[in-house]
C-alpha cells in the first residue's frame, strides 16, 4: 500500500500550484480553475487522512465540499458571462473601473 505521506505531499503540491495559479494568471476562468484545484487538493488530503483512521467522516466531508464547489461554479460562471457581455474580456487586469 502507498504510504499516506505521499498523498499529503501530492495534495500540498496541488494546493501550491492552485495558489500560484490564482496569483499569477490573469484570466478569470483560469483563476477559477486554480481555485477548484485548491479545493480538490484539500479533498485529496481529507480522503487520505480519513483512510488512515478508517472512518467515513472524511469522505462525507468531501461530498459537502464537492456540492459547495458546484454551487460556486454556478454563481461564478454566471458572473464571468455577465462581465464578458459588458466588457468583451475576462482579463482581471482590465477590471479597473474601481480605483481610488
Partner 1 sequence: MNQFDLTTILPITILTVWACVLLLVDLFIPKTRKGITALLSALGLAATLGFTLSQIGMEDSGFNGMVALDGFSTFVNALLLVSGLLGVALAYGYVKRMGIERGEYYTLLLFSVVGMMLMAQATDLIVVFLALELLSIPLYVLAAFSRPKTDSEEAGLKYFLLGAFSSGFLVYGIALIFGATQSTNIFAIVESASTSTSNLLLTIGAALLLIGFGFKVAAVPFHMWTPDVYQGAPTAVTAFMSSGAKIAGFAALLRVFATAFPAIATDMTDVLWVLSAATMIVGNVVAIAQTDIKRLLAYSSIAHAGYILMVFVPYGNENVVATSVAAGLFYLVSYAFTNFGAWGVVIALEKKEGKGLALNDYAGLSKRHPALAAAMAVFMLSLIGLPPTIGLIGKIYLFRAVIDAGFVWLAIIGVLTSLVSAFYYLRVIVVMYMKDGEPTAEREPWLDMTTAVTALVTVIVSFVPQFLFAWASDAVLKLF
Q: Which residues bind partner 1 (CB under 8 A)?
A: 8, 11, 15, 18-19, 22, 28, 31-32, 35, 38-39, 41-43, 45-46, 48-50, 52-53, 55, 57-58, 60-61, 64-65, 68, 71-72, 75-76, 79-80, 82-83, 85-87, 92, 95, 97-98, 100
Distance of closest approach, residue 38 Cβ to partner 1, in angstroms: 3
Reduced to 3 states (helix: H, G, I; strand: E, B; else coil), residue 100 is coil
Please state, in angstroms and rounded to a whole number, the distance separating the CA atoms of residues 23 and 97: 20
Distance of closest approach, residue 1 Cβ to partner 1, in angstroms: 17
What is the CB neighbour count within 10 angstroms for residue 46? 18
Distance of closest approach, residue 68 Cβ to partner 1, in angstroms: 5
Judging by beta carbons within 10 Å of its beta carbon (0-12, 13-18, 19+), is residue 45 exposed, middle or buried? buried
C-alpha cell at 39: 479545493
Amino acid at each position: 500500500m502507498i504510504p499516506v505521506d505521499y498523498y499529503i505531499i501530492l495534495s500540498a503540491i496541488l494546493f501550491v500550484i492552485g495558489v500560484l495559479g490564482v496569483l499569477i494568471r490573469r484570466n478569470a476562468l483560469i483563476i477559477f480553475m486554480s481555485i477548484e484545484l485548491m479545493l480538490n487538493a484539500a479533498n485529496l488530503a481529507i480522503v487520505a487522512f480519513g483512510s488512515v483512521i478508517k472512518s467515513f467522516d472524511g469522505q462525507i466531508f468531501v461530498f459537502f465540499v464537492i456540492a459547495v464547489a458546484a454551487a460556486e461554479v454556478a454563481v461564478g460562471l454566471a458572473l464571468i458571462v455577465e462581465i464578458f457581455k459588458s466588457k468583451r474580456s475576462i482579463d482581471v487586469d482590465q477590471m479597473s473601473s474601481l480605483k481610488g
